[in-house]
């Protein structure tokens, strides 16, 4: 960690502690954990994600403080850090995971460090490392100003490039919130900007977005909301002949909440060249959604939905795809406290390239009951896929699921929890006239003793039989764990996990063993 960064943190903390406030109350909490991990792989080590034989440590800590000052000023902060030699967890041997400092008063809040802010769907919704100022002196309005880096790791701020970081962008923005008409109307103005770091991308972009979003409560059961946004994107800010493209996005939504019926409807249209500070990826897309819940007599509940979208409305691409997805589900009660459901789902995708013309029909039904001593469920799903373009995509599948789980006291302060489930799937391909069969069995048991000692064991068995037999596999997974609270704020955990992968070709077989011991301390 660079010396200048350490000096910077010490300087901020010293200035805040030396501030001319008198502490009325202080709340400080800390959680520290130390883990030891051992990995080993048997068989074909090249197939495993884990190292063949390696012992690593992991130390993680979190320090949180919240001080209340006289004059209704509140000083708060948090710092989370990590040290490890396990490259599967973190490529950095020492790293900061989360850090922020803030001051809050009746006039607003100032925050520096890690924070998340969401202005609106089309403007800004980012987790940043930077500064945020919130002014809410009046209950009818609030102003938010922020700027920071959109990056995963603190190390990205002082290193030229981290191998495990995908991007680094500078993001800034401001939002003015207004509550009008006795708080029935919310009208908000947003501006956001983002600039790519040239060290991460070859053609860095700069984006500016202006948007207006609002919500109007007509009455207690009807709410309208909307957003209109305009973006301007500079295609390559490192070039003198940079081109700028602008486009719009619009969203209209309505929520109806009656006593027995709820309906949420939404229409959205995103332009071809629209972009947001959040890295909005959808473009040239129009979508309509209708989602409703109807509470019927006799404990009946009908859930229905309709989703439609179409891309490439401007015909700037060679392919246009339309999707249609209606569906419904009915939940109801039966005799002897049994509950059941039936549902249907239809999905259709049509493309102008003639290679995509698929229809998927799904039908499901299920039965559940709580027997007090244990809970049980039984589900069945039938899926039919048809294609007018490529016959090899056509297939039918049947999926069965059954499960039992429960928990009860064996004696005073000794509790047993258990579960078992089975999943079977048959998938028949029409053109091949052959079927795939997959099954999975899962079972587990846990014991909680009065001495705070806990034992847990889980086992899973997977059997995959494909009509292309060279890809068949039989996999197993075992997990054992023992934990105990040694003292009030000190606990211990020891676990072992083994995963066996057995394929039709034995030369690819391998097994993974993971042993982990952890201590957790709070003060």
**Residue 26 tokens, joined:** 């202080």
pLDDT at residue number 4: 44
Between 518 and 70, where is the model more confident?
Answer: 518
Beta bridge mates, 98: 80
Give the confidence band of 106 by pLDDT, cuts at 50, 70, 90. Answer: confident
pLDDT at residue number 161: 55
State pLDDT tens for residues 130-150. Answer: 999 999 866 678 999 999 998
Report whether pLDDT(20) > 50. Answer: no
DSSP, residue by residue, 186-207: EEEEEEEEEEE-TTT-SS--EE
Going by C-beta distance under 8 Å and a sequence separation of 6 or more, which residues neighbour residue 191? 123, 173, 174, 175, 208, 209, 210, 211
**Residue 253 tokens, joined:** 């939504």
CA 99 – CA 101 distance, rounded (Å):
7
Mean pLDDT across 467-482: 90
CA 39 – CA 42 distance, rounded (Å):
10
Report whether pLDDT(17) > 60. Answer: no
pLDDT at residue number 69: 59
Looking at 137-262, list the stretches that DSSP marks H as alpha helix, in order from N- to C-terminal side: none
Lowest-confidence pick of 34-38, 158-162, 302-306, 334-338:
158-162
State pLDDT tens for residues 183-226. Answer: 899 999 999 999 988 777 777 888 999 999 999 999 989 999 99
Beta bridge mates, 350: 322, 357
Give the confidence band of 511 by pLDDT, cuts at 50, 70, 90. Answer: very high
Question: What single DSSP character describes residue 171?
Answer: E
Report whether pLDDT(7) > 50. Answer: no
pLDDT at residue number 443: 97
Lowest-confidence pick of 11-20, 58-67, 336-345:
11-20
DSSP, residue by residue, 375-419: EEEEEEEEEEEEESS-GGG-EEEEEEEEEEEEEEEEETTEEEEEE
State pLDDT tens for residues 223-282. Answer: 999 999 999 988 877 777 667 888 999 999 999 999 999 999 999 999 998 989 887 667
Mean pLDDT across 70-85: 84
**Residue 282 tokens, joined:** 């959808």
pLDDT at residue number 174: 97
pLDDT at residue number 57: 94
Neighbour count for residue 141 (Cβ, 10 Å): 15
pLDDT at residue number 280: 66
**Residue 67 tokens, joined:** 């001080």
Average per-residue pLDDT in the chain?
A: 87
**Please, are residues 186 and 215 in contact by the beta-carbon 8 Å criterion?**
yes
CA 169 – CA 124 distance, rounded (Å):
13
Report whether pLDDT(289) > 90. Answer: yes
Q: In terms of Cα–Cα distance, which of 435, 409, 411, 433 is closest to 424?
A: 435
Lowest-confidence pick of 172-181, 249-258, 263-272, 427-436:
427-436
Report whether pLDDT(483) > 60. Answer: yes
Report whether pLDDT(515) > 60. Answer: yes
Between 226 and 65, where is the model more confident?
Answer: 226
Question: What single DSSP character describes residue 406?
Answer: E
Mean pLDDT across 58-81: 82
Give the confidence band of 22 by pLDDT, cuts at 50, 70, 90. Answer: very low
pLDDT at residue number 471: 80
Backbone dihedral region of 140: left (phi > 0), alpha (psi from -120 to 50 degrees) or beta? alpha
Domain edges within the chain: 1-104, 107-283, 408-419+431-523
Q: In terms of Cα–Cα distance, which of 253, 254, 252, 282 is closest to 270?
A: 282
State pLDDT tens for residues 111-132. Answer: 999 999 999 999 999 999 999 9
Which residue bears the tokens 């003793």? Answer: 449
Mean pLDDT across 477-486: 94
Give the confidence band of 502 by pLDDT, cuts at 50, 70, 90. Answer: very high
CA 51 – CA 175 distance, rounded (Å):
48
Cα distances (Å, whole numbers) of residue 106 to 16, 71, 117, 136? 19, 9, 20, 8
Specify the 3-state DSSP secondary structure of 225. strand
**Please, are residues 50 and 39 in contact by the beta-carbon 8 Å criterion?**
yes
Share of the chain above pLDDT 90, in %: 56
Give the confidence band of 89 by pLDDT, cuts at 50, 70, 90. Answer: confident
**Residue 46 tokens, joined:** 């090249």
- What spatial distance separates the first Cα and last Cα of the chain, rounded to whole Å? 26
pLDDT at residue number 75: 86
Going by C-beta distance under 8 Å and a sequence separation of 6 or more, which residues neighbour residue 292? 261, 262, 263, 264, 303, 304, 305
């Amino acid at each position: 960690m660079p010396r200048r960064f350490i000096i910077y943190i010490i300087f901020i903390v010293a200035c805040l502690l030396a501030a001319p406030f008198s502490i009325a109350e202080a709340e400080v909490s800390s959680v520290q954990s130390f883990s030891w991990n051992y990995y080993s792989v048997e068989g074909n080590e090249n197939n495993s994600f884990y190292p063949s034989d390696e012992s690593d440590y992991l130390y993680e800590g979190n320090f949180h403080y919240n001080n209340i000052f006289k004059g209704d000023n509140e000083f708060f902060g948090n710092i989370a850090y990590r040290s490890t030699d396990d490259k599967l967890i973190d490529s950095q041997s020492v790293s900061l995971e989360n850090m922020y400092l803030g001051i809050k008063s009746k006039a607003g809040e100032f925050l520096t460090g890690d924070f998340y802010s969401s202005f609106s769907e089309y403007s800004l919704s980012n987790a940043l490392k930077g500064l945020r100022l919130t002014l809410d002196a009046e209950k009818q309005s609030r102003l938010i100003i922020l700027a920071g880096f959109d990056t995963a790791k603190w190390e990205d701020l002082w290193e030229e490039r981290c191998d495990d970081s995908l991007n680094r962008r500078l993001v800034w923005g401001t939002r003015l919130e207004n509550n009008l008409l006795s708080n029935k109307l919310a009208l908000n103005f947003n501006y956001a900007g983002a600039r790519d770091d040239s060290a991460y991308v070859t053609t860095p972009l700069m984006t500016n977005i202006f948007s207006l979003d609002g919500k109007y409560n007509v009455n207690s059961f009807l709410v309208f909301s909307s957003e209109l946004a305009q973006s301007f994107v500079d295609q390559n800010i490192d070039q003198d002949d940079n081109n700028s493209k602008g486009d719009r996005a619009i969203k209209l939504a309505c929520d109806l909440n009656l006593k027995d019926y709820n309906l949420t409807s939404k229409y959205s249209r995103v332009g071809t060249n629209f972009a947001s500070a959040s890295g909005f990826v959808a473009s040239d897309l129009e979508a309509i959604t209708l989602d409703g819940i109807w509470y019927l007599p006799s404990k009946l509940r009908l859930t229905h939905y309709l989703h439609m979208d179409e891309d490439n409305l401007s015909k700037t691409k060679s392919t246009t795809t339309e999707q249609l997805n209606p569906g419904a589900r009915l939940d109801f009660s039966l005799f002897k406290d049994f509950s059941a459901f039936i549902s249907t789902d239809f999905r259709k995708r049509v493309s102008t390239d003639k290679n995509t013309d698929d229809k998927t029909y799904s039908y499901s039904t299920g039965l559940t009951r709580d027997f007090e001593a244990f809970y049980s469920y039984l589900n069945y799903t039938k899926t039919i896929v048809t294609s007018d373009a490529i016959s090899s995509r056509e297939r039918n599948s049947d999926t069965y699921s059954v499960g039992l789980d429960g928990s009860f006291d064996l004696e005073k302060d000794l509790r047993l929890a258990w579960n078992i489930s089975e999943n079977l799937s048959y998938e028949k391909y029409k053109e091949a006239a052959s079927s795939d069969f997959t099954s999975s069995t899962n079972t587990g048991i846990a014991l909680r003793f009065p001495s705070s000692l806990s034992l847990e064991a889980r086992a899973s068995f997977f059997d995959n039989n494909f009509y292309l037999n060279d890809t068949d596999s039989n996999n197993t997974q075992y997990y054992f764990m023992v934990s105990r609270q040694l003292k009030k704020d000190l606990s211990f955990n020891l676990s072992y996990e083994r995963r066996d992968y057995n394929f039709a070709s034995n030369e690819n077989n391998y097994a993974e063993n993971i042993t982990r011991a952890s201590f957790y301390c709070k003060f």
